[in-house]
């Protein structure tokens, strides 16, 4: 179970009554008969921002409002605003940032906009409006022509590397949001080289539960494999990672490889068995791509000999760490 923590706290007194059996039956009956609040506007702009406007009947609301997304036994909500109309009704408006995620949890702030994290699938859209100590929980009817849109595909969406969100309808005629998560990937943000250590930072996208993700440094054309423990934290699209390269162990292997040194890759293994090579994001650049070489730098780890680090991105965009052991006096 998840939800925008800020909106969830504001809506907590509003949501609890809606989760009883009577509220569920009423909502189910409304869906079954096709009744619902008709949206004046419902669209996904820039590929990840939901815009919604709908007028609900009844006295103007003086309580909180929210937009709820429900899929199976999971639900989340984001705060909405209410505006009284000249006809004595309530207009509900919302602008919500959408983010695809693999686990249910409180999302990070999206600046001034509320944000929801949704897994792949179809999420029913409903309105929650409170006032006078009561709650109204109303399905949103599927929009008609001229009231819905999904905007033009962004370059990221067209390339298939970002999540896709689109307004759709259910068989009962209610509005829903279809979510297609991005393909799993390990994108490198930077290779940070310090006098005594080297780190790779980036983000795992669509890689599943972070706590079930393992990482390793693998030697090209060799048998050396060194497990590493990534430092993980919430990221913009997934899970941010920082990996400290095991330079002393890599140097030992490089020394046995001769003057040309050794080349290494950083790989992540997900819970579903996928192996993700750390690579550079290069949208709009067709493969094969020209290699991109970073400046070589000397690093002196706390133990072991100094090493010459020569990272580059191969034609496949995979990060390759070239490493040569140097004489101890170098």
Task: Write a three-state SS string for 226-285.
Answer: EEECCEEEECCCCEEEEEECCHHHHHHHHHCCCCCCEEEEEEEECCCCCEEEEEECCCCC
For residues 107 and 47, state if they share a domain.
yes
- 13 with 154, same domain? yes
Has residue 5 got a pLDDT over 90?
no
50 and 82 together in one domain? yes
Number of domains observed in the structure of the chain:
2
Residue from 132, 159, 137 nearest 92 by CA:
137
The answer to the question of residue 220 being in a domain is: yes
For residue 234, what pLDDT band results from cuts at 50, 70 and 90? Answer: confident
Give residue 258's pLDDT.
Answer: 60
What is the average pLDDT across 276-286? 78
In a domain, 199, yes or no: yes
Q: Which residue has the higher pLDDT, 196 or 102?
A: 196
Helices 5-18/21-32 angle, 10° precision:
90
Looking at the domain assignment, is residue 330 inside a domain?
no
Residues 145 and 198 occupy one common structural domain: no
- What's the confidence (pLDDT) of residue 246? 93
Boundary (domain end) residue, out of 123, 146, 180: 180
Residues 168 and 212 in one domain: no
Pair (169, 222) in one structural domain:
no
Question: 16 by DSSP, 3-state: which?
Answer: helix
Assign residue 206 a region: left if phi > 0, alpha if psi is -120 to 50, beta otherwise? left
Residues 192 and 128 in one domain: no
What CATH code is carried by the domain that includes residue 32? 2.60.40
User: What's the rounded Cα separation, in Å, for the pair 82 and 282?
Assistant: 42
Q: Work out the pLDDT band at 162, boundaries 50, 70, 90.
A: low
| Whether residue 139 is found in the same domain as residue 272 | no
Task: Report strand pairing: 214-219 vs 225-228.
Answer: antiparallel
Structure tokens at 300: 């002196």
- pLDDT by residue (tens digit) across 84-109? 888 888 899 999 998 876 544 444 44
- pLDDT at residue 330 tops 70: no
Do 167 and 215 lie in a common domain? no
Same domain, 162 and 253: no
Residues 190 and 154 in one domain: no
Distance in angstroms (rounded) separating the CA atoms of residues 224 and 4: 44
At residue 227, the pLDDT reads 96
CATH number of the domain that residue 231 is part of: 2.60.40.10
User: 194 is in which domain, residue-wise?
Assistant: 185-325
Nearest to 244 by CA among 262, 223, 229: 229
User: Using CA atoms, how far apart are residues 196 and 247, in angstroms rounded to an integer?
Assistant: 9
User: What single string gives the DSSP state of each residue in 148-195?
Assistant: EE--PPPHHHHHT-S-EEEEEE-TTSBEEEEEEPPPPEEEEEEEEE-S
306: nearest Cα among 250, 264, 229 = 250
Residues 101 and 164 in one domain: yes
Confidence at 259, pLDDT banded by 50, 70, 90: low
How does the average pLDDT of the chain come out, rounded? 78
């Amino acid at each position: 179970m998840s939800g925008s923590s800020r909106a969830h706290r504001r809506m907590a007194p509003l949501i609890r009554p809606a989760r009883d059996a009577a509220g569920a039956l009423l909502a189910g009956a409304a869906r079954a008969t096709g009744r619902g609040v008709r949206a004046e506007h419902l669209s996904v702009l820039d590929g990840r921002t939901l815009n919604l406007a709908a007028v609900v009947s009844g006295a103007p609301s003086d309580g909180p409002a929210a937009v709820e997304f429900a899929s199976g036994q999971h639900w989340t909500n984001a705060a909405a605003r209410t505006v009284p109309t000249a006809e004595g009704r309530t207009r509900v408006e919302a602008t919500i940032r959408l983010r695809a995620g693999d686990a249910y949890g409180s999302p990070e702030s999206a600046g001034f906009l509320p944000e929801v994290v949704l897994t792949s699938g179809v999420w029913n859209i409903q309105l929650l409006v409170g006032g006078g100590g009561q709650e109204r929980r109303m399905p949103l009817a599927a929009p008609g022509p001229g009231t819905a849109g999904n905007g033009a595909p962004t370059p990221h969406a067209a390339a298939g590397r970002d999540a896709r969100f689109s307004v759709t309808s259910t068989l009962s005629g209610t509005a829903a949001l279809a979510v297609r998560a991005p393909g799993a990937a390990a994108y490198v943000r930077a290779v940070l080289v310090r006098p005594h250590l080297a780190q790779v930072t980036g983000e795992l996208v669509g890689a599943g539960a972070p706590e079930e993700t393992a990482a390793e440094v693998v030697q090209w054309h060799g048998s050396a494999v060194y497990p590493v423990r990534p430092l993980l934290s919430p990221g913009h699209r997934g899970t941010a990672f920082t990996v400290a390269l095991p330079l002393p162990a890599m140097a030992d292997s490089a020394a046995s490889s001769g003057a040309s040194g050794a080349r290494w890759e950083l790989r992540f293994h997900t819970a579903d068995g996928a192996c993700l090579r750390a690579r550079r994001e290069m949208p709009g650049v067709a493969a094969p791509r020209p290699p991109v070489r970073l400046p070589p730098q000397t690093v002196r780890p706390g133990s072991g000999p100094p090493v010459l680090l020569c990272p580059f991105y191969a034609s496949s965009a995979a990060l390759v760490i070239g490493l040569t052991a140097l004489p101890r006096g170098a």
